[in-house]
Amino acid sequence: MPDGRAVVKTAASRAFFSRGTGLRTSHIFTTADGAAQGLTGTTEFAPGAEVPWHTHNCEETVTILEGEALFEADGEQTELVAGDATWTPVGVVHRYANRGRGPLRILWTYGSVDATRTLVATGATASITAESQANPAVRLDAQGPAEADPSLSA
């Protein structure tokens, strides 16, 4: 822990891990870095990739960094592009999908260090911070998406 000091992480120093077909995530700041109020990271989607319907036990903010997304929540679909952002309250069923031809990159922030994701289809709940430890053998380096995970090539 950084003992109350600011922490800087370069893009090149961050590790990515696979979250399934066409998805990879990097946790930027967690409790391991001294975070006490929330979690931050990025997720990259290959063309056509999507996260399944899910909820969280805390609020979530997402900013589209690159690409074209489809955000679905509350029975509505919203098309998003780089610079657009969403805020999702606790317990709202939602999902994101890459609707473009290139990679989709999002920056996410959870309002709790104890954030969880519950999949609607199965009811399974998992800690956001634990997902990077679920299968360490598939950890990816910080190369671009096409180099690190062929499923993320355009």
Looking at the predicted structure, is the pLDDT value of residue 151 above 70? no
Read off the DSSP letter of residue 51: P
Q: Report how far apart, in Å, the C-alpha atoms of 116 and of each of 54, 59, 111, 119 are.
A: 10, 10, 11, 10
pLDDT tens sequence across 78-106: 999 999 999 999 999 999 999 999 999 99
- With respect to residue 148, please indicate whether it lies within any of the assigned structural domains: no
**Number of domains composing the chain:** 1
Pairing between strand 16-18 and 139-140? Answer: antiparallel
Residue 147 lies in a domain: no
Please state, in angstroms and as integers, the Cα–Cα distance from residue 100 to each residue in 48, 75, 85, following that order.
7, 21, 17
Rounded to two decimals, what is the model's pTM? Answer: 0.85
Does a structural domain hold residue 62?
Answer: yes
Measured between alpha carbons, how far apart are the two ends of the chain, in Å? 38
pLDDT single digits (tens) 102-146: 999 999 999 999 999 999 999 999 999 887 766 443 444 444 443
d(CA 33, CA 31): 5
- Please report the pLDDT score of residue 134 as a whole number: 61
Q: Is residue 19 one of the residues assigned to a domain? A: yes
Distance, CA of 73 to CA of 51 (rounded, Å): 13
Please report whether residue 2 resides in a domain.
no
Assess if residue 72 is contained within a domain: yes
Task: Check residues 77 and 141 and name the one with the higher pLDDT.
Answer: 77
In a domain, 35, yes or no: yes
* Predicted local distance difference test score (pLDDT) of residue 64: 98
Mean pLDDT across the chain, nearest whole number?
A: 86
Using DSSP, how many helices (H) and how many strands (E) does the chain show? 1, 13
The range of the structural domain enclosing residue 82 comes to: 15-135
CATH of the domain at 58: 2.60.120.10
The pLDDT, as a whole number, for residue 57 is 98
Look at residue 26 and tell me whether its pLDDT is greater than 80.
yes
In a domain, 151, yes or no: no
